[in-house]
Amino acid sequence: MSTLERRVKEARKEKRKLLWVLMDPDKQEPEKAGEFACTCEKEGVDLILVGTSLMMEERFHETIRVLKDLASLPVYIFPASSQQVSRDADGILFLSLVSGRNPQFLIEEHVRAAPLIRKAGLDAVPTAYLLIDSGKVTAVHYMSHTLPLPRDKEDIIAAHAMAAEMLGMKMIYLEGGSGAREAVPGALIKAVRSSVEIPVICGGGIDTPEKARLAVEAGADIIVVGTAFERDNRAGHIQAFREALG
């Protein structure tokens, strides 16, 4: 079992919901990201994900280094491609875009990344990534050349989650896409939660503490927030999300 799975398992046993923050190296300087990580740590954030759908700046590695230097939170890569592997991170969500049918994100990038991940000694967590339609074309929808799952087709989405669990994946990531207009609906989170045993991560468009609360009440174990903290990264704002998770 990976280190991250063990941590999440413990939290679930204690009925503690987790708050993960997504940092995009394209959107801020490494030093700023480092300062923000320190605030996150003080406010009870559990983990930092680092990822970007394009990598327009050359500061992916530098950002991870600074985050690890300045804060002691675990830093995991949330990769968009096999080029996003850094030996300074603690681990990586080894994502399969199972909502789509593009072999590049079902096996191709994995084959390219696997030797690099092994060499870097990263904690790799096989994670099923399910992109859910959120009312607009998001970066991941466009860049991955895959169709998101229709948000009202709970049975089809639950079947994807079941298949991922049967294939041995260790977490489900229900994703509305960064900056999604609408977060993943509670009824859908419930449907997935009741279909699988493995932890459910939920992100995309969770831009208020209320939305975070609704997602965990519906059964999400982990909430990922990115855009809302890019807009306002003050301690009080993070605290409000933390409190919403109970």
Residue type, 232: D
User: How many residues contact ligand 1GP, by CB under 6 A?
Assistant: 14
How many angstroms separate the CA atoms of 149 and 172, rounded? 14
Distance separating the N- and C-terminal Cα atoms of the chain: 27
> Cβ distance 195 to 160 under 8 Å?
no
Q: Which helix (H) or strand (E) holds 128?
A: strand 123-131
Counting contacts by CB under 6 A, is residue 209 touching ligand 1GP? no
203, 213, 222, 242: residue in contact with ligand 1GP (rule CB under 6 A): 203
Of 184, 206, 216, 222, the residue at the interface with ligand 1GP (CB under 6 A) is 206
Q: With respect to ligand 1GP, which residue has the nearer C-beta, 13 or 231?
A: 231
Query: What H or E segment, with its residue span, contains residue 92?
Result: strand 91-96
Cβ of residue 178: shortest distance to ligand 1GP, in angstroms? 4
> In angstroms, what is the minimal distance from the CB of 43 to ligand 1GP?
16
Q: Which stretch binds ligand 1GP (CB under 6 A): 6-14, 92-100, 142-150, 225-233?
A: 225-233
The distance of closest approach from Cβ of residue 134 to ligand 1GP in the complex, given in angstroms and rounded to an integer, is 9
CA 233 to chain centre: 18
Angle at CA of residue 22, ends 16 and 28, nearest 5°: 145
Q: Does 127 bind ligand 1GP (CB under 6 A)?
A: no
Interaction mask 21-50, ligand 1GP, x per CB under 6 A: -x----------------------------
According to DSSP, residue 149 is labeled: B
Q: How far is the CB of 239 from ligand 1GP (least distance, A)?
A: 17
Task: Assign 34 to helix, strand or coil.
Answer: helix
| Residue of 47, 225, 244, 245 interacting with ligand 1GP (CB under 6 A) | 225
CA atoms of 52 and 87, how far apart (whole Å): 17
Residue from 91, 148, 199, 205 binding ligand 1GP (CB under 6 A): 205
User: Quick one: 24 or 123, whose CB is closer to ligand 1GP?
Assistant: 24
What are the structure tokens assigned to 180, written together? Answer: 């999604």
What is the Cα Rg of the chain in Å? Answer: 16
Q: Which residues bind ligand 1GP (CB under 6 A)?
A: 22, 175, 178-180, 203-206, 224-228
